[in-house]
Structure 1
Amino acid sequence: MTVIRSEAPLVWREIAAVAAGAPLQLSPGTEARIRGARAIVEQIVARGIRAYGVNTGVGALCDVVVSPAQQHELSHNILMSHAVGVGAPLGKEETRAIMAAAINNYAHGGSGVRVEIVAQLAALLEADCLPEVPAFGSVGYLSHMAHIALVCVGAGHVRWRGERLGGAEALERLGLAPLALEAKEGLSLVNGTPCVTGLAALALERAQRLLDWADAVAAMSFENLGGQIAAFDAQSLAFRVSPGLARVGARMRAALAQSGLLAAALGRRTQDPLSMRTIPHVHGAARDVLAATEEVVNRELASTTDNPIVDGTPDAPRVFSQAHAVGASIALAMDSLATAVAQVAAMAERRLDRLVNPLVSGLPAFLAYPGGTHSGFMIAQYTAASLVAQNRRDAAPASLDGGVTSGLQEDHLCHATPAALKALAVIENSSRILGIELLAAAQAYDLQPVAAVRADYTQTLYGQIRSVVPTYRDDRPLAGDMSVAFRMIAGGSPPPLPDPQAAPCTPEPLASCALQPPLQGVATPGTHASANEEMPGAVGH
């Protein structure tokens, strides 16, 4: 699928598609809009109209007038001085997402860059020749785009076909020439919110996939623990108004339909523990946050986020030098999404703890098979608890970090890009937690003492995990299995659920369920990955 930037702005799903490798093209009308904005900048320069970053310095130097002869030097120097990122480089998808969001921003026609600048970025994307962008060092938006723009002028470094190349050599191999920046282009290349917006699009995609898995894995644990299906009753859930809650309730009813295990557990308890009966409430709240975040990110993609913004016509140019480059709304949205995902993962760890605790599960201690000389999932639960604690630290709001930069000129900072990076880290940690719960739930089925059938959906999911990971017998490092489960969750989707509207709210009576004996054997062995697997994440190519 080719993503085309036309008159309409891109939406987050299109940014995520480009990040995954889809080509990005500009429509002829979009190119004309970019050229029109450039003509306005040229008139601002010719008429000597005071414009921040065009014929003045930047930041605290905004009142220093720059002569026309120095404006090329100003643009070039902005890239050099703003390329101050540190740490490991962003991953391939993260870099592509930022570049796509930047191109989308320039296509609004308010930035005033030449179309050649946008074409250069698009050519790098098309060739998958990606600038090396250090992940850290930004309080807002500057350093990431500066490192990307360096390559356009023949500086910096790229990763291309497994090689690390200097920017000039990379352009030469692609048949491109380094660009000499003109007035305003240096500032337009580093400011605005494409870095956080691109990363936010990835966070949305990964969070959406994680929440689908969270429902599926929770269904397996709920079934193994003999939960009371009334927790998902549609009439009961309707008392709380929440689209996410209603959706999760329907998904859980569909996933657990016809479960003999749940039929056998009917009436066993008046109420289940909160980590079981609040699955619709917690997962649903996270889905509501996800929906709200989608709106924020799409609004950001529909906005021109430069400072200054050029408008009007060449005959009547206008310059708006205000604060549209500050991403307060998207910073708050990323903080909120990180917290929502962290809460889902924290509850998953609580279900995992119940699965491994024989005092509440009715299963062998720590899901060890056989017990005594085997530890089973005892220490895997430690890992999950550690990741929950890491999420708790990472979910602290970046948008409140504050700080003062640029000689008091920038005395309020929203830390939007760090908020997006933290959200991505929380999502990755949470995928690992759910992966451990997935393994434990599959192991619980193998050791389940109740002779009753599973729901069709959970049986399918059990078969999927057992096709790649056999029953665990302390016969191999468990980290390898955890790596496989993580890749399943971070890199793919769970089996699709049947139509929730067709699923009954309660299981069939036990007498009508065909029974099967507890599983004692080992499923077909699969392959095992290293614990140091390559997966989507905030940093690392």
Structure 2
Amino acid sequence: MSVTRSDRPLDWREICEVAAGAPLELSAQARERIGAARALVEQIIARGIRAYGVNTGVGALCDVVVSPIEQHDLSHNILMSHAVGVGAPLGPQETRAIMAAAINNYAHGHSGVRVEVVERLAALLEADCLPEVPALGSVGYLSHMAHIALVCVGAGHVNWRGERMAGSEALRRLGLEPLKLEAKEGLSLVNGTPCVTGLAALALQRAHWLLDWADAVAAMSFENLGGQMAAFDAGSLAFRVSPGLALVGARMRAALAGSGLLAASLGRRTQDPLSMRTIPHVHGAARDVLAATEEVVNRELASTTDNPIVVGTQQEPQVYSQAHAVGASIALAMDSLAAALAQVAAMAERRLDRLVNPLVSGLPAFLTDASGTRSGFMIAQYTAASLVAQNRREAAPASLDGGVTSGLQEDHLCHATPAALKALTVIENSSRILGIELLAAAQAYDLQSVSAARAPYTERLYAQVRGLLPTYRDDRPLAEDMTLAFHMIADGGPPPLPDPLPVPATTERWTPAPIEPVADGTAAPANDALPGAVGT
């Protein structure tokens, strides 16, 4: 089913639909807005109104006036000089997401490109004829879109039906002529935040899958390690105000309902280790960050992020040449999401370590039934630890990297696109870590000494793993199993939890009494006795 850009901006989920292969159509209203903005640009040119990138150079050349006969060359040359990406190309979904976000941006009706330009991008999407876009080399938003736009003018390269070919050849096979860009179109084709916004939409989708899997895999480890269900008690969790925490608590109760293994371990410990009892707190905090990031990404999609922006009427056209192309808010959001997911994965590695460590698990060492001749999951935990360390490096904030470009004209950089690319890397690493924990948890079930039933939901997860892979006996390269588990997690969400999802109980929280001064000048609660203290 196609996605239509109408009078309402696309949201991040619709960007992901296009990224997955859905065609993107323009409504009549969207075409009308695009055309009206183009008419404003033509009036600006005709009246000689100075406008950045329309009749001036760009960057530090913003005060160099460009004559009408040079404006076509300016647009064309911007693509050529800005196509400076390096490294391996982006994947098909990443490229489609960026193109969808760009079309959404032009459809706001303040960029001033012709409808034909936007239709060309939509035609490439519909044919799944995707420009080759090097992933690296952008401090903000320029190079990725430049490589996409090259194909519109018959340059660059595409990947189509498994073949890499020149952009000119791709257009020929599609029956399309290379576009001749008009004034401002070159700048608009490389400008704004579609690159980071498209990548951020994919990061949101993959983060949702990751966090759903994190709850499911954590439930398996928790059950194997004989955790205490009090950690997920609705009344207890209600003392901390967090929608994410409440949701994760409910999910864990649903996932572990009916567990004979947990019934057998009831009361065994006063308190579980933090990697087990803070599952709602850490996973919930990440979900709260995810919710905030969704809001930022949807706001970005609802915003015009071109520079300059054209508004007004043909009688009174106006130009705003400021900084809407700078993605400070979305850069910060991507940095926050990467850090949150890195923490979830770091705690997953700690649970994995507990599963393989006989000193705390009560299971055979390294989850093998022939210790000494078999190493089992010993070195798989090393891999997880390595990925946790890499996540720690990737989670350093890109938005603080700074830098100076374009002869001091662009002397503050937010690195929004690198922030999104880092977030995607953290999500991939974290999916691999959870995949290893998933395999280890399934192996732990095979080695349990307690004769008791798993929860129905974890039984379903165990059966899904064992439907793909038998118990591991050092009889094959474990890396291949880890790759299969990674794809289980990275390619979609886990089996749904039982319906209806239990709703956290509401509890009346204790409110501290007002502080009143006492005789010695200090302050103390008005009541003499505080509620009973509890341990940490």
| Category of TM-score, reference length = shorter chain | over 0.9
Q: Which residue of 2 aligns with 1:272?
A: 272
Q: Which residue of 2 aligns with 1:421?
A: 421
Letter in 2 for 1:132: E
Structure 2 gap segments, 5+ residues each: 506-536
C-alpha deviations, 1:258-294, integer Å up to 9, x for none?
1010011111111000000000000000000000000
Q: Which residue of 2 aligns with 1:184?
A: 184
In 2: Cα distance, 1:16 partner to 1:352 partner = 32
Residues 1:19 and 2:19 aligned together: yes
C-alpha root-mean-square deviation of aligned residues, in Å? 0.9
Structure 1 gap segments, 5+ residues each: 506-541
Deviation at 1:500, TM superposition (A): 5.6
- Given that 2:224 and 2:441 are in contact with CA atoms closer than 8 Å, whether structure 1 keeps it comes out as yes
TM-score relative to the length of structure 1: 0.93
User: 1:503/1:371 Cα in 2 relative to 1: closer, same or farther (>3 Å)?
Assistant: farther
- Given that 1:369 and 1:472 are in contact with CA atoms closer than 8 Å, whether structure 2 keeps it comes out as no
- Given that 1:253 and 1:500 are in contact with CA atoms closer than 8 Å, whether structure 2 keeps it comes out as no
Letter in 1 for 2:418: P
Q: Which residue of 2 aligns with 1:72?
A: 72
Identity level (%)? 85
- Given that 1:85 and 1:133 are in contact with CA atoms closer than 8 Å, whether structure 2 keeps it comes out as yes
Question: Number of paired residues?
Answer: 505
- Given that 1:254 and 1:503 are in contact with CA atoms closer than 8 Å, whether structure 2 keeps it comes out as no
- Given that 1:141 and 1:190 are in contact with CA atoms closer than 8 Å, whether structure 2 keeps it comes out as yes
Say which SS state the counterpart of residue 104 (structure 1) adopts.
Answer: helix
Say which SS state the counterpart of residue 393 (structure 2) adopts.
Answer: helix
Say which SS state the counterpart of residue 65 (structure 1) adopts.
Answer: coil
C-alpha deviations, 1:226-283, integer Å up to 9, x for none?
0000000000000000000000000000000010100111111110000000000000
Letter in 2 for 1:484: L
- Given that 1:253 and 1:504 are in contact with CA atoms closer than 8 Å, whether structure 2 keeps it comes out as no
Deviation at 1:368, TM superposition (A): 1.1
- Given that 1:356 and 1:378 are in contact with CA atoms closer than 8 Å, whether structure 2 keeps it comes out as yes
In 2: Cα distance, 1:204 partner to 1:309 partner = 28
C-alpha deviations, 1:82-117, integer Å up to 9, x for none?
000000000000000000000000000010000000
Residues 1:482 and 2:482 aligned together: yes
Q: Which residue of 2 aligns with 1:83?
A: 83
In 2: Cα distance, 1:327 partner to 1:469 partner = 44
Map 1:393-408 onto structure 2 (within 5 A). Answer: 393-408=393-408
Q: Which residue of 1 aligns with 2:362?
A: 362
**Larger displacement relative to structure 2 (419-428 or 490-499):** 490-499
In 1: Cα distance, 2:83 partner to 2:147 partner = 5
Letter in 1 for 2:452: A
Say which SS state the counterpart of residue 326 (structure 1) adopts.
Answer: coil
Q: Which residue of 2 aligns with 1:209?
A: 209
- Given that 2:246 and 2:504 are in contact with CA atoms closer than 8 Å, whether structure 1 keeps it comes out as no
In 2: Cα distance, 1:99 partner to 1:470 partner = 42
Map 1:122-141 onto structure 2 (within 5 A). Answer: 122-141=122-141
C-alpha deviations, 1:355-413, integer Å up to 9, x for none?
00000000000001322200000000000000000000000000000000000000000
Say which SS state the counterpart of residue 467 (structure 1) adopts.
Answer: helix
Say which SS state the counterpart of residue 450 (structure 2) adopts.
Answer: coil
Letter in 2 for 1:181: L
Residues 1:250 and 2:272 aligned together: no
Deviation at 1:2, TM superposition (A): 1.1
In 1: Cα distance, 2:99 partner to 2:124 partner = 9
- Given that 1:289 and 1:340 are in contact with CA atoms closer than 8 Å, whether structure 2 keeps it comes out as yes
Deviation at 1:501, TM superposition (A): 4.6
Map 1:48-447 onto structure 2 (within 5 A). Answer: 48-447=48-447
In 2: Cα distance, 1:173 partner to 1:345 partner = 46
Deviation at 1:496, TM superposition (A): 0.4
Deviation at 1:415, TM superposition (A): 0.1
Letter in 2 for 1:206: R
Q: Which residue of 1 aligns with 2:463?
A: 463
- Given that 1:215 and 1:252 are in contact with CA atoms closer than 8 Å, whether structure 2 keeps it comes out as yes
In 2: Cα distance, 1:284 partner to 1:3 partner = 32
In 2: Cα distance, 1:454 partner to 1:338 partner = 33
Deviation at 1:321, TM superposition (A): 0.3
In 1: Cα distance, 2:448 partner to 2:399 partner = 46
Say which SS state the counterpart of residue 311 (structure 1) adopts.
Answer: strand
In 1: Cα distance, 2:215 partner to 2:354 partner = 17
Deviation at 1:499, TM superposition (A): 3.0
Letter in 2 for 1:155: A
In 2: Cα distance, 1:22 partner to 1:500 partner = 31
- Given that 2:247 and 2:504 are in contact with CA atoms closer than 8 Å, whether structure 1 keeps it comes out as no
Q: Which residue of 2 aligns with 1:448?
A: 448
TM-score relative to the length of structure 2: 0.93
Letter in 2 for 1:262: L
User: 1:61/1:32 Cα in 2 relative to 1: closer, same or farther (>3 Å)?
Assistant: same
In 2: Cα distance, 1:353 partner to 1:162 partner = 42
C-alpha deviations, 1:203-239, integer Å up to 9, x for none?
0000000000000000000000000000000000000
